[in-house]
């Protein structure tokens, strides 16, 4: 089975371009569309708020009025939206991609979503004679801008290889994890790790400040040691700058952690660290921080600290 990208050698430099339907121009999706356009592909986009697609429309993307129109007659259609219900709507809804008359051979969902939905979407696509791939990403706005996202892929191996050049335009680490749903399950692993590292980072910053240390100087010592992580390198500097704007929304992380907790319990696992992180982020959302980046957890934990000189045991 040849890649639909073979016609341009996967480089985007040939005279024949690949036609891609794209649904979702959020924090990451906009940059990803930009990379595809830079690689010479044609992209037809749909997003609920047209203004969010303004920058890619200016760069040459075409506009679609709904997901069906975005998918119609393309070589592949890709979605990266907010929630599982959005995934279901854009692909299985009354104007979803699978209602197109001329279906693309490959449907790719890059949203962090429910593994069960990924399996169901694969089955629905197969009934229409097309392949469906779940390919959630990690790396936030920085990874999307730099084209270095980690892409975790579930689906049939042949379809994954056909679409690999598309993934290579947007990501730096591209791993096929297994059959339908395997990409989403791998993203759950990723989010469990992220949740733990974020709590540790916030608590470390709070301790450094209370102990009379300069958190920026401390960061120089720990970021390259055994405690080093993506969170320390990318999000802690934002915290220290007072930048809590979203590279990834707390609203979406609450969704991700909820999926992770449900899936873990479905396998018979109790993961107290994960459940604690879910509780903290749910509380952050309840306090109005849902539209901030995940690093805004610091604000929640900071606001709950006793005044200096007090201890939680004092009355």
Contact status, residue 159 vs residue 209, Cβ threshold 8 Å: no
Query: ∠82-85-90 over CA atoms, to 5°?
Result: 80
| 159's tokens | 């379809």
CA-CA distance, 14 to 88, in Å (whole number)? 35
CA atoms within 13 A on the CB side of 255: 17
Closest CA to 121 of 229, 275, 130: 130
Which residue is catalytic, options 52, 59, 185, 187? 187
Task: Report in angstroms the alpha-carbon separations of 255 from 112, 204, 252, 281, 312.
Answer: 9, 25, 5, 10, 31
187 is catalytic: yes
Q: Which residues contact residue 157 at a Cβ distance below 8 angstroms, ignoring those fewer than 6 apart?
A: 176
**Catalytic residue set:** 187
């Amino acid at each position: 089975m040849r890649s639909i990208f073979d016609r341009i050698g996967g480089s985007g430099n040939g005279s024949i371009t690949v036609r891609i339907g794209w649904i979702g121009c959020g924090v990451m999706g906009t940059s990803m569309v930009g990379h595809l356009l830079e690689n010479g592909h044609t992209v037809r986009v749909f997003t609920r708020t047209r203004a969010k697609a303004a920058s890619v429309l200016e760069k040459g993307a075409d506009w679609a009025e709904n997901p069906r129109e975005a998918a119609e007659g393309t070589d592949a259609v890709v979605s990266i939206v907010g929630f599982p219900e959005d995934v279901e709507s854009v692909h299985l809804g009354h104007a979803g991609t699978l209602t197109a008359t001329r279906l693309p051979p490959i449907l790719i969902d890059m949203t962090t979503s429910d593994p069960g939905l990924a399996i169901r979407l694969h089955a629905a696509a197969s009934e229409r004679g097309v392949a469906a791939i779940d390919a959630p990403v990690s790396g936030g706005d920085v990874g999307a801008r730099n084209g270095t996202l980690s892409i975790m892929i579930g689906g049939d191996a042949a379809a994954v290889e056909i679409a690999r050049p598309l993934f290579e335009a947007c990501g730096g680490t591209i791993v096929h994890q297994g059959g339908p749903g395997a990409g989403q399950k791998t993203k759950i692993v990723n989010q469990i790790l992220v949740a733990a590292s974020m709590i540790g980072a916030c608590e470390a910053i709070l301790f450094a400040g209370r102990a009379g240390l300069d958190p920026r100087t401390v960061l120089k010592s720990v970021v390259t040691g055994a405690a080093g992580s993506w969170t320390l390198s990318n999000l802690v500097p934002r915290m220290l700058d007072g930048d809590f704007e979203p590279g990834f929304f707390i609203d979406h992380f609450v969704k991700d952690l909820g999926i992770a907790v449900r899936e873990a319990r479905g396998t018979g696992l109790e993961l107290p660290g994960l459940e604690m992180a879910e509780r903290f982020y749910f509380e952050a959302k309840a306090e109005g921080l849902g539209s901030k980046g995940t690093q805004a957890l610091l604000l929640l934990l900071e606001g709950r600290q006793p005044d200096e000189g007090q201890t939680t045991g004092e009355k």
